[in-house]
A and B are shown apart, each in its own frame.
Chain A
Amino acid sequence: MYRRNKLEKKYMILIVVVIVAIVLGMITNIVRTERELSPIEKSVKDSVLLVNKVVYAPIKFVKNKITEYQEKQNLYEKYKELEKKVKETELINAERLELKKEVEDMKKTLELNHVLAESSYLNATVVNRNLGYWYNTITIDKGEKNGVKKDMAVIVSEGLVGKVIKTTAFNSTVKLLTSDDANNKISVKIQVGDQFVYGLLSGYNKKNRTFSIEGISSNMKIPKGSIVTTTGMGDVFPSGIVIGKVKSIKTDNFDLAKTVIVEGSVDYDDINYVTILKRKDEDK
């Protein structure tokens, strides 16, 4: 009797271990692979977020009114500033046309896949922010019905925010550049005079709010304040989206490996509205 009980206990432990291993394996697979959401998941997510949007609407209205009131305080200064900017617009437009032509020529020469000038813009509102805590994601209110697709770049006026990782009919999940995810590395270039230094943006320091660039391809001296932008390699982010400015440069003891510390241009703490970069050829 005692031996039988002992045997049953052993089997129970074995079964529990197997179940835990299977569940862990399944979770690992789901978390690691960038899987497509199933139609059921998509419709449940859309329905709940629609209710969420309705519930949030009056709160958002009050929030916007408060912001509006705060912004109205220095309306005259802003008007003067805008008046000045409007006068500059014509000049900028002419320059833009010229640059667009130049980009076309350069694209042919450099065989670039995708440049910023080829993108059309789609504005979206943030529905919720980083509820999974670890994943550094935001949910936006534009989805497949608006032409949003996986891997599209998401920006704000200050620079790159992240990329779309999951889409439903009316919403999308955006993985932020600040994500701890070990796979979250993007190709960047640092502008030094007329030349570029290439590297890999890897890792975000939450405390200092800085990114680090590793794998610097050149021994060229990089001045502080140099602009860091995307390269356009890898077919995800178009070339020329601002990421930030060089804050400092660290080298190892042997002066072999160089790490560039970059101060991000985007305030990731307060993202309420974003712009999705859609390729113009995908609009057609």
Chain B
Amino acid sequence: MIMVIGVLIFSFFLESIVSNFIPLDTNFFVPLFSLISLIIIYPYFNGEKMNYLKVCAGIGLLYDVVFTDTLMMNLVLFILLGLFICFMNQLFSNNVFSVILISAIIIFFYRVMGYGILCLSGLFVFHMERLWESIFSSLLLNLIYASIIYLITDFLAKKYHIRKID
């Protein structure tokens, strides 16, 4: 559990800090570390899906309140993506390549659903180019982060004999 809490807190604050070093109009380095942390922590729940989804909801709610001021939106998105992470983990074994693949798919769905909701609500006018831009700008940094944080947590799990799904 310490590992899970550690990864969540570290990713949450790192996302906020990293945003201060990255240009607002960046085409490559948009951080989504909190979302990535949900993929990393899943194996440590050892199949306890309900508890995992509760954590997803908690992080989503915190993300809404602290970062985006959009109560409910990330809460719902994070739960849906949590369910999707559960499903994906049943298909793939837990290794660095599958983590990268799942991260890429999750980022894609997060952006599509987020933009879809905002366009449906009439806040933005839909532009396909803008959607692709948002997906591609979020991939590079987050996939690097996903692989680094996976390798670190995997090393620590092996060293301290922490149980997880492989």
Chain B 105-140 interface mask (CB, 8 Å, partner A; 1/0): 000000000110110111111000010011000100
**B122 and A182 within 8 A (CB):** yes
Residues of B within 8 A of A268 (CB): 24-25
Most buried by A among B16, B76, B120: B16
Would you call A272 and B20 a contact (CB within 8 A)? yes
Asked if residues B72 and A182 are in contact (CB atoms below 8 Å), the reply is no
Q: List the B side residues contacting A56 at CB < 8 Å.
A: 16-17, 20
Instruction: Let me know if A209 is at the binding interface, CB within 8 A.
Output: yes
The chain B residue with its CB closest to the CB of A44 is B65
Closest chain-A Cβ to B10's Cβ sits at a distance in Å of 10
A132 engages B20 (CB within 8 Å) = no
**Given A44-B66, A52-B16, A131-B67, are A31 and B73 neighbors across the interface (CB < 8 Å)?**
yes
Partner of A134, one of B16, B24, B115: B115
Chain A residue nearest to B14 in the complex (CB): A55
Distance of A48 Cα from B8 Cα, bound (Å): 14
Q: Is the CB of A32 within 8 A of B17?
A: no
> Interface residues of B, CB < 8 Å — how many?
39
Would you call B70 an interface residue if the criterion is a C-beta within 8 Å of the partner chain's C-beta atoms?
yes
As a 0/1 sequence over residues 59 to 101 of chain B, the CB contacts with chain A under 8 angstroms (1 = contact) are 0001001111111110010000000000000000000000000
Nearest chain-B residue to A135 (Cβ)? Answer: B68
Contacts of A269 in B (CB 8 A): 23-26
The answer to whether B72 touches A23 (Cβ under 8 A) is: yes
**Given the complex of chains A and B, what is the CA–CA distance between A32 and B73 in angstroms?**
12
Is B154's beta carbon under 8 Å from chain A?
A: no
- Given A27-B76, A30-B71, decide whether A134 and B13 contact each other with a Cβ distance below 8 A: no
Determine the residue in chain A with the shortest Cβ distance to B16: A128
Q: Is A176 a contact of B24 with CB atoms below 8 Å? A: yes
The closest CB in chain B to the CB of A40 belongs to B65
- Asked if A214 is at the interface (CB within 8 A of a chain B CB), the reply is no
Known: A129-B22, A134-B134. A31 touches B70 (CB 8 A): yes
A270 at the interface (CB under 8 A from B): yes
Contact of B30 with A55 in the complex, beta carbons under 8 Å: no
In the bound complex, CA of A44 to CA of B16 (Å): 15
Asked if A45 and B24 make an inter-chain contact with CB atoms under 8 angstroms apart, the answer reads no
Residue of B69, B72, B118, B124 ringed by the most chain A CB atoms within 10 A: B69
The 3 residue pairs across chains A and B that have the minimum distance between CB atoms: A269-B23, A28-B121, A132-B68
B interface residues (Cβ-Cβ under 8 A, vs A): 13, 15-17, 19-26, 30-31, 62, 65-73, 76, 114-115, 117-118, 120-125, 130, 133-134, 138
Interface residues of A (CB under 8 A from B): 23-24, 26-28, 30-32, 37, 41, 44-45, 48-49, 51-52, 55-56, 59-60, 63, 126-137, 139, 166, 173, 176, 178, 180-182, 206, 209, 268-272
Given contacts A31-B73, A45-B65, A133-B30, list 4 more A-B pairs with CB under 8 A. Answer: A55-B17, A63-B21, A129-B24, A181-B123
